[in-house]
Amino acid sequence: MEQNDETKVSVTLGYTLNLGNFQSLRLDLGVVDSKRQGETTNEAMERVYGFVEAKLTEKINEAKAEIAE
């Protein structure tokens, strides 16, 4: 009988971008995902963290580009 592992991992990262003149932009991204078959909880956490980190970096760069325009 196959064991149903319902372990979830959640990662939320944030970044505050200083815009000057006492203004800032806060970006927060998060993902909740399930541990995949054959994957340890730590492996699942690293996979989800890498995804969120890459997406947050992408969104920070987009925001900086828009501000620079």
Q: Which residues of the chain have pLDDT under 50?
A: 1-2
- Given a contact cutoff of 8 angstroms between Cβ atoms, the answer to whether 55 and 11 are in contact is no
Residue 69: what pLDDT? 82
Q: Exposure pattern of 54-69 as b/e (b: 16+ CB <10 Å)? A: eebeeeeeeeeeeeee
pTM of the model: 0.84
Per-residue confidence (pLDDT) for residue 14, from 0 to 100: 98
Please tell me the predicted confidence (pLDDT) of residue 20: 86
Q: What is the pLDDT of residue 34?
A: 95
Query: What pLDDT sits at residue 4?
Result: 54
Q: Do 6 and 16 contact (CB within 8 A), yes or no?
A: no
